[in-house]
Every structure is written in structure tokens, then in C-alpha cells.
Amino acid sequence: MDRMIPGSNVKFPDASAGLPVPAKQLLTEFAREAVLVVIGNALIAAGLTAVGIGKGLGENLVFSEAIGLSIMLLLHVGRYSLQRRNALTAPRLAIVMVVAIIAGAAIGRIVASALLGLDIGKTFATKEIAMTGWIALVATLLVTWYGWSRARIAGLSEQVARTAWLQETAEKTALRARLQALQAQIEPHFLFNTLATLDSLIVSDPPRARELLGSLNRFLRATLEASRTESETLSVQFAVLDSMLAVHAMRLGPRLAYSLDLPADCTKLAVPPMLLQPLVENALKHGIQAALAGGRIDVRATRGEQHVELTVTDTGPGFGATPGTQGTGIGLANVRDRLAALYGERASLTLIENAPHGIVARVLLPADDAHRLEGVESA
């Protein structure tokens, strides 16, 4: 039974199973070698006729084809029998070859004599047998060498394919682990500050504390689920952002206003998990919390023919207020690394000024990849 390697179209035979080679493969190999044997036998017949051996091209051709095909058939039967018993070795194959040459030459001469109406006894004269033996030996060795060479090439090709698959699997495993590590990063200050706010609200405003706890619970649950998957819909990601911003809004009060704009044609688009969360956290840290009066964060998705555009806009101080921090933080670096690992140059993250002040973080994703999950779900 063949074993299909996951993530590949290459089938590798299970050597431990010891099962016979499929009949279709045997017939294919036999037909391919039979064509070569027929051509080789014709050349041998032509050569014998050219040097004056035999009574003519027709008779030589019949004898050559009958003997050559008989030997090839016996050789295939013997090799197949050894393969079925998982006993194919070089010494045993050599014995099969000798037996096939002797028996095949005899059977071939009998068949040829019968076809030509010749006296079978005369075809087994010592001189005729010796000449037939030498010709059959050379032809069989050539055919056997050809078959061994093809088998050797096939084995080397299989080994190369297996090595390439193992390397590809290792690279994918390393990439998946790296992406999951990047996805699992949560801003520690966010958790500490939220827990501190929750502690104070438990005493001063229990209903708000319960509301904050519910938002935090939804956010952490969604974050945990996102860290275990390779893609999610924009509707799921926007729901996570809504929970996160709700927690921050309860902490910061009137200093934070936000909006989430997700058109209906974008809800089922597939994107990497937690793609926008680092951008929102960056806007909160360097935009809203850096301004005494606070500000606003707007998250928006737009679907185009070539790209899906995701933007996180804040009304904070902008680049000049916090030199050396915008665009070089760990969160932004993680987003760029993930985009590069998943899409190569087909995706990008850019930061631009938001007039009159603030920053716009814009992510462009290839539309074909984003549409893939939508097509699966709608089917």
C-alpha cells in the first residue's frame, strides 16, 4: 500500500508492508521494456543477416523476436515472484536471469520453429544453441542493465522528493511556531492596568466592574482562540478589537473614543489572526495615552479588486511627538514579519501622517488570499 505524505502529491511506497507491486505498474513496465526488446531484436536480426548468419532477414527476425520476448517474459515472471515474497536480492536475480536465458532461448526456438514450419530437432544443433546463447546473454544483460538503471534513477528521485518534503515540512513547522509565538504576545501593561482598574471599580462601581470583567473575559477568550488558528474572518477579528477597545474605554473614560467600520462584503474575508491588534495597541500607547486630552481611534476595512485595505487611524500627537518610537516598535515589527512570512511582497504595512495630527497604519493584503475562506464558507 502506498503512503501519501501529508501536504504533498508524492506517494512513497511503504517498504515495511512487503506488498506486491500494483498490476498496472507491472504492465506499464512490461510494455515499455517489450517495445525496447522488439526494437533490439530487430536490430540483432538485421545484424545477423548482414554478416551472413541464418537463411534470411525474415527467419532471423522471427527467431530473434521469439527468443528475446520469451526470455524477457520469464525474467519478469521470476522477478515478480521474488518481489511478491519480498525476497528480491542480487544473487537471486542473477539465478533468475540464467534460468530465463536458458529456458527462454529453448522456448523461443521452439516457438519460432513452429511458426516457420521448421524441424524443431535441427534448431537445437550445438552450433545453433551456442550462437543463440551468446546473443541472448548479451541482449538480456543490456535489458537488465536498462531496468536496473531506471530503478536506480527512480529510487534517487524518490529520495530527493522525500528530502525536499521533509525540509519543506520542517520550514512550515518552524514558521507556524514562529507565527503562533507572535500571535500570543499580549501587551502586559494592558493586563496590569486593566486589573488595577477592575480592583478600584469593584469597590466604587460594582456594575461597571462587572461590565469591565465581561469585556476582558471576551477579549482574552477570543485572543486564546486566535492563537490556535492560522486564519480568521474579519468579523471575528473586529469583534476581538471591539472587546479590547471597550476595556480601554472603561479605563480611560472620555479620553478615548473609537469606531469600527466593517462593510458587509468584508465580514467573511480571511486574514491572519490578531493582525490588527498590535496596530490598535500602538495607536493607544503612542497616540491616545500620549495625549493629555486623549483622542480617537478608527478601524476600517475596505475591499478592492486587487487588495483588501485595513486601516487603524488615531488622532494622537503623530510622528514628531514621540521620535524614534513610531514604526519601530515590537508590535509593528511583528506585524511586518508575519505579513512577510505569509504573503511575501504581496502584502505591506505602511504608516502615514493623519492630517491635522495623528497616524494612519495601513495594511494591504492580496485579495485572492482573503477571498479564499469566503469561498469555502459560501460553498
Check if the beta carbon of residue 215 is closer than 8 Å to that of residue 250. Answer: yes
List the beta strands (DSSP E) in the chain. Answer: 2-4, 11-13, 232-233, 256-261, 270-271, 295-303, 307-314, 348-353, 359-366
| Coil, strand or helix at 166 | helix
Q: Look at the alpha carbons of 44, 49, 53, 58 in this order and tell me if their dihedral is positive or negative.
A: positive
3-class SS of residue 359: strand
For the ranges 155-169, 250-264, 280-294, the maximum mean pLDDT occurs at 250-264
- Among the residue ranges 110-124, 178-192, 289-303, 352-366, the one predicted with the least confidence is 178-192
* CA pair distance 279, 359, nearest whole angstrom: 11
pLDDT band at 302 (very low <50, low <70, confident <90, very high): very high
CA distance 322 to 209: 33
Rounded to an integer, the average pLDDT of 276-302 is 87
Do 205 and 299 form a contact (C-beta atoms < 8 A)?
no
Residue 178 and residue 27: Cα distance in Å, rounded? 48
Q: What are the pLDDT digits (tens) for 338-366?
A: 888 888 889 999 999 887 888 999 999 99
In 141-212, DSSP assigns E strands to none
Helix, strand and coil content of the chain, in percent to the nearest 5, comes to: 65, 10, 20
Q: What is the pLDDT of residue 234?
A: 92
Give the pLDDT score at 8: 37
Percentage of residues in the chain having pLDDT higher than 90:
12
* Ordered structural domains, the chain, with CATH: 2-180 (no CATH), 184-378 (3.30.565.10)
pLDDT at 19 over 50: no
What are 32-37's contacts with CB under 8 Å, separation 24+? 33/72, 33/76, 33/143, 33/146, 33/147, 34/69, 34/72, 36/143, 36/146, 37/68, 37/69, 37/72, 37/139, 37/143
Average pLDDT of the chain is 76
Task: Write down the pLDDT at residue 142.
Answer: 62
What integer pLDDT is reported at residue 50 of this predicted model? 81
pTM of the shown model: 0.51
- Indicate the pairing of strand 348-353 with strand 359-366: antiparallel
pLDDT of residue 71 exceeding 60, the answer is yes
CA atoms within 13 A on the CB side of 346: 13
Q: Tell me, what's the pLDDT at 225?
A: 72
Closest CA to 259 of 271, 272, 274, 249: 249
Name the most confidently modeled range: 12-16, 96-100, 186-190: 96-100
- For residue 37, the SS3 value is helix
Q: How far apart are CA 29 and CA 10, in angstroms?
A: 19
Q: Find which of 100-109, 227-236, 260-269 is predicted with most confidence, using mean pLDDT.
A: 260-269
Q: What is the pLDDT of residues 209-260, one digit of tens each?
A: 888 888 888 888 877 776 666 678 899 899 889 988 988 888 888 899 999 9
Q: Cell 486566535 appears where?
A: 226
Q: At what angle do helices 330-343 and 126-183 cross, to 10 degrees?
A: 150
Angle at which helices 23-50 and 57-84 cross, to 10° = 150
